[in-house]
Structure 1
């Protein structure tokens, strides 16, 4: 683990996976990614922050996976992400409190994502503030089927014992998911507990 302020001006040409335990200062992060973002394939910004600076994503155009929390009053941020990161295949969104709910996250993804996006991870740290209704889940999946060219969906829910409202806790939601697995729209669905050891894989930086 390293302190980011010590390396914000340094270039690491071999750096491909970067993860934060806490969201760093936007100015320091922007400076670091300006030097190192072009090489990154995976970026995990964590979920604890005040506000994201949209300019950071223009330095990470070759990302394949992004993990971040987006505040529910910054709905346009995901549009900027998808416009900047054209090679992005997987997006992991932290859902809690003042961050996007499951409904808001899925709505923004289906509205703005590009053809390379196939895997969506909804990550719950604490209890979900609003429950995703079955009709809202099905509306998202139906919208996903309208993409041309069609793309398969990999859906992952990361949860914990404190979260009682995440979408996989609803039997009706599971029925809908199974329906679209049979129809070949959802390639894979998985619900799993948060794995701290998995999070530690890669370069972890403290602020």
Structure 2
């Protein structure tokens, strides 16, 4: 394959999906390409290094409406910050944020004002449910769907009073929007996600009846897409 020169090339493609490491090699060349119609970006199972995805977002982020990233990388926080900087029109985001990088999630909500749906990893070294819920209700502007993805065992159990507080604060938001709440529990039967507490389920049913919750779903399908 001939090398792509370090000049910008324009292509009309509205979706780009990359998976497995062999595809990521080609991504190094794509960083110099402008996809003028690109709206959906998906990266699974591998991660381009050396700041390549950041350069790609700088060239192509302004029209992106959906970003789905599922991979491990130490520089993930830099990518999240790049998303907040270069993707102002984003509607849907699936990403991971560590529990010591909570400020990054606040920055994303402040910069991506049109964001409607977000999938957040919980447990392990990632955010707790409490951190995720409190940040969403306080800093998001247009969110109407929240997906909490439990790949790891939850470290901090969400108390019923904390869940109730979240829904009270959500119902007081202006303008009012009903929320779709999805819990994904994967691999661990002993997972202690919020749906494992009967009192939490009672609270959820209460706010479904009040119209605060539009949809509530618990699934073990890690492929669930926002």
What is the TM-score of this pair, normalised by structure 2? 0.81
Alignment correspondent of 1:205: none
Higher Rg of the two aligned structures: 2
**Matches of 1:23 and 1:127 in 2, distance apart?**
24
Shift of 1:76: 0.9
Q: Aligned with 1:52: secondary structure?
A: helix
- Structure 1 CA distance, aligned partners of 2:147 and 2:179? 11
Kindly state the Cα deviation for residue 71 of structure 1 after the two structures are TM-superposed: 1.0
Deviation track 1:138-197 (CA, whole Å, cap 9, x = no partner) reads 11111111112211111011112405201111111111000000111111111112244x
**In 2: Cα distance, 1:40 partner to 1:123 partner:** 23
| Structure 1: gaps spanning 5 or more residues | 200-207
Match of 2:34 among 2, 8, 11: 11
CA-CA distance at 1:18 after TM superposition? 1.1
- Check the 8 A contact 1:126/1:162 in 2, yes or no: yes
Q: Residues 136 and 191 from structure 1, CA distance in 2 versus in 1: closer, same or farther, beyond 3 angstroms?
A: same
- Corresponding residue number in structure 2 for 1:202: none
Q: Shift of residue 15 of structure 1?
A: 2.1
Between 1 and 2, higher relative CO (CA 8 Å, sep ≥ 6) is seen in 1
Structure 2: gaps (5+ residues): 1-17
Q: Where do 1:183-198 residues align within 5 Å?
A: 183-196=210-223
The residue number in structure 2 matching 1:204 is none
Alpha-carbon deviation of 1:126?
Answer: 2.1
Runs of 4+ in 1 over 6 A off after TM superposition: none
Equivalent position SS for 1:130: coil
TM-score norm. by structure 1 comes to 0.88
CA distance in 2, matches of 1:55, 1:153: 27
Give the conservation status (yes or no) of the 8 Å contact 1:97–1:128.
Answer: yes
